[in-house]
Amino acid sequence: MTTSTKNPADFVAKAPDEASRKSARIELVGVPSSPGFAMGTVFPVANREFSVVDETLPESRLAAEEQMFLKAISKTSKEIAQIKEISETRAGIKDSLIFATHLMILQDPGLVNGVLDKIRKKHKNAKWAVHVVFGAYIDKFEKIDSPAMRDKAADLRDLYNRLMSAMDDSGPVLEDVTDEEGIVLVAHEFVPSFLMTLKPGQVNAIVMDTGGRTSHVAILSRALQIPAVSGLRNVAALVKSGDTIIVDGADGKVIINPNEDDIRKFHERQEMFERQRRELFTMRQLEPMTRDGKYIVLHANIEIPTEADKVADFGATGIGLYRSEFLFFKKDTPTEKEQESAYRHILEKMDPYPVVIRTLDAGGDKLVSGVSAVNESNPFMGWRSIRVCLDREDIFITQLRALLLANTKGNLRILLPMISSMTELRRAKACIAKARKQLEDEGHKLPVVKVGSMIEVPAAVMIVDKLAKEVDFFSLGTNDLIQFTLAVDRTNELITDMFQPHHPAVLSMIYQTVVAAHREGIPVAVCGEMCTDPMSVLLLVGLGVDELSMTPWSVMTTKKIIRSINFEDVRDAALTVLQMDDAESVNEFLHKKYAQTIMELGISGFVGQVEK
Ligand code: PEP
Ligand code: MG
């Protein structure tokens, strides 16, 4: 039997069918994965489809097949080790841990022995054995509906392709990428190791059918500053080599075969973007203060420790949220030492500014292998976040010890996610005390650390006055708070219009949190995506929020918004809005009052177009 590796390689971007190739203009909207505007020539990355034959071999040929497979493992390991080295130089050690994982997978006894067994016991040829064994694992991971598992499947497909190439005479799969300038790579799916083989400036952008903002590819494209749009579903089938394509990584749009008008608009938008960027940079050291003197703290959200090296360039005066679970994506349960070094990097880079590190928020759409439950019917409301940490004290205490040890500068703040009861808060604080006691007993002198609670579950808002008495700060996780308050899955594209940050229930919850916090004299931050929307920024400031934390780029645009408003004015607007009974009325009111002002700020290249 011969097969064209349907399972492991069917992610491959196939060359579009000649008959269906048209040069018609096509506009697609996907997930903005890495900001920036680019235009270029389509270079479809069509991973080769391997032809695999199912053979049953005589005993005499088995040794040669076994050798072929073992040689392929060794060749692939060398290839990956080389890529790892290049990657470490270009993107840093932390962002290159994925390749260490690939090397580990290549030594995984389950996989290696699985293939050897098929050769030795079933008398199968090496390629077929690899195809069947890897295919089964990939299938298994793909069936689990989670970005983390899909990433694992993608890692395995990457290795599958490399192994098959190594057993094939015609060379590695992805060596076809040209040195030609101005290309935009298009594929059904990219794999991280491929991205790392690109030379700096080699490609203008990447676009793909699959993926979202939390995939390894999205993380790496942001780290490498390559504009990217993912989740386009069928872009790979719609393009042909040599097509012109425009990529808008800020709005997640692509245009295939743009017309003259699109190209003119693209050039205008790109020029405007550059102009806006230059102008924003000139004001990055200015104070984020309203015209009537109200100071709003602007912090950055980061997912990779090395991002801390750059946030001050954007004018952020601290980290408002480090999502520590991303460390656990790269390596299942990192050791205390590994965690300490990652946290220390951020804390030392940011010194003397404060750094809020959120303890492990695994689960939901952030499954961490070896930690998270995988078959939950409602993962967002399942065994996740602080619930996992309180049940798995071994993991939690290790993380807390690492955090406390890394805090040599004294600028650490610990943030507890998904708190929904006083019992959880108290148990989590008891764990912090336990980790501290252990370290002090070992002779460490530790600075005092502020502890805060995320407010992202409606139950937390209902007891916010009680929580306020036992924490040092609040951070409103509006992404989850909106999701849970409105019962709208934040990842479900069918109901995105129902995900309403300006719903009266949400605004009222934010306001209640602010009032309770200020009564106890503690500050309130917002670290959800609301902070990147100009209208929401006005409302949040008006509602009395003290700190806003967002993707580093947005710090500059938000600063510009804040410097253009009067606190008195937005406070009156927020109080008016609190009386309204639906999100539509709120939006209409805000647009009437502020759309013109925001349009005139000259930040549309970053925040998208403000509707009139
Ligand atoms: C939030 O829920 O708003 C938040 C900041 O956390 P995450 O997006 O990681 O759930
Ligand atoms: Mg959250």
Q: What is the pLDDT of residues 3-47, one digit of tens each?
A: 333 333 333 333 334 434 457 899 999 877 787 899 999 988 865
Q: How would you class 218 by CB atoms within 10 Å of its CB: exposed for 0-12, middle for 13-18, buried for 19 or more?
A: buried
Mean pLDDT value of segment 136-155: 79
User: What digits encode the pLDDT tens for the residues 74-100?
Assistant: 888 887 887 777 667 766 777 778 788
Q: What is the DSSP letter of 463?
A: T
Q: Is residue 518 predicted with pLDDT exceeding 50?
A: yes
- Number of the ligand 1 atom closest to the C-alpha atom of 456: 2
The model's pTM: 0.69
The confidence score (pLDDT) of residue 17 equals: 42
Distance CA 469, CA 521 (A): 9
Beta carbons within 10 angstroms of residue 220's beta carbon: 27
Tell me which of 319, 323, 325 to substitute to probe ligand 1's pocket, judged by most ligand atoms within 8 Å of the beta carbon.
Answer: 323
pLDDT for residue 488: 87
Q: Where does the pLDDT of residue 189 fall: very low under 50, low under 70, confident under 90, or very high at 90 and above? A: confident
Catalytic residue numbers? 216, 527
Exposure string of 351-390, with b = 16+ CB inside 10 Å and e = fewer, is: eebbbbbbbbbbbbbbbbbebbeeebeebbebebbbbbbe
Ligand 1 pocket by Cβ (under 6 Å): 321, 323, 361, 456, 477-480, 527-528
pLDDT for res 344? 98
**Cα angle value 433/400/317 (rounded, 5°):** 105
Instruction: Give the per-residue pLDDT at 6.
Output: 33
In a 3-state reduction of DSSP, which class is residue 253? strand
Is the pLDDT at 396 greater than 90, yes or no?
yes
Q: Whole-angstrom Cα distance, residue 612 to residue 594?
A: 9
End-to-end CA distance of the chain: 62
pLDDT at residue number 40: 95
pLDDT-derived band at 174 (thresholds 50, 70, 90) equals very low
Q: Which of 214, 357, 480, 513 has most ligand 1 atoms within 8 Å of its beta carbon, as the pocket-test mutant?
A: 480
Residue 214 has pLDDT above 60, yes or no: no
How many H-runs (helices) and E-runs (strands) does the chain carry?
Answer: 25, 18
| pLDDT, tens digit, 9 for 90 and up, residues 152-162 | 777 787 788 78
The three state secondary structure string of 199-250 is: CCCCEEEEEECCCCCCCHHHHHHHHCCCCEEECCCCHHHHCCCCCEEEEECC
| Range 175-189 average pLDDT | 76
| Local confidence band at 202 (pLDDT 50, 70, 90 cut-offs) | confident
Average pLDDT over residues 227-243: 83
**Helix or strand run (H / E) with residue 40:** strand 37-44
8 Å CB contact between 464 and 513: yes
DSSP-derived letter for residue 305 is: G
> Given this model, what pLDDT does residue 215 score?
54
